Amino acid sequence: MDNRYDQNYGTLCYQLLMAILANNKIDHLFAMGFSGDDVRWLQSLNPEELKRITTTPFPVMGWRPTVHKERIKMWKKNVRENREELQQLDEFIMLGASYPLVRYCFGLTDHQFRDRCMLLSVAPYRGRARLPPEDVQTEAWCLFQAHLHLPTRLRILEIGRGVTVPLRDVWSLLKQWEHEVLN
């Protein structure tokens, strides 16, 4: 199917759902085959989340009641994954991650990183990271080895939770260890 058609269809879905929700025409959603739980869930979303889930590419399907369960399940998974990622991002920033680390793990631009720091009332770190003391390096190495089974982002998060220095200070060590262990 043409990607442009998928995008236009997603935009149409978003505008239709926004109009129905904004005008409190919930009976239209029931008429389209949405269940009460689905309607309550759609009402709980903010406009940004609603736009993201409706414009995410997926096979175009008509508005038939039999399709809504699969579509809603996919949308809920998308929102849940995005919320988990935002929680991880916030925790990274609160643990003292630097912009290069956040870019590596989440793909954020410098502007997005500064905006997120401002939302969290955290000053973005400027300058060179300090080399952590030997005992912190040892502790970080033990945590690194203990969490090798995790994906990189979660492994870094676990190390950040376990050490007493900001993540930006152990990031250079983590890059070095990643390179040595995985190559």
Q: Which residue has the tokens 């969290």?
A: 120
Which pLDDT score is estimated for 93?
92
User: For the whole model, what pTM was predicted?
Assistant: 0.59
Asked if 18 and 50 touch (Cβ cutoff 8 Å), the reply is: yes
- What's the CA gap between 155 and 170, in Å, rounded? 13
What was the pLDDT predicted at 183? Answer: 61
- How far is residue 177 CA from its own chain's centroid? 25
The residue whose two tokens read 């080399």 is 131
Q: What is the pLDDT of residue 152?
A: 85
Mean pLDDT by 10 residues, the chain (183 residues): 55 77 77 76 79 62 54 74 86 91 89 85 79 88 90 90 88 80 66
Query: What confidence tens digit (pLDDT) does each residue in 12-21 have?
Result: 777 778 788 7
d(CA 39, CA 96): 39
Residue 115's pLDDT is: 84
Return the sign of the alpha-carbon dihedral for residues 16, 19, 25, 26: positive
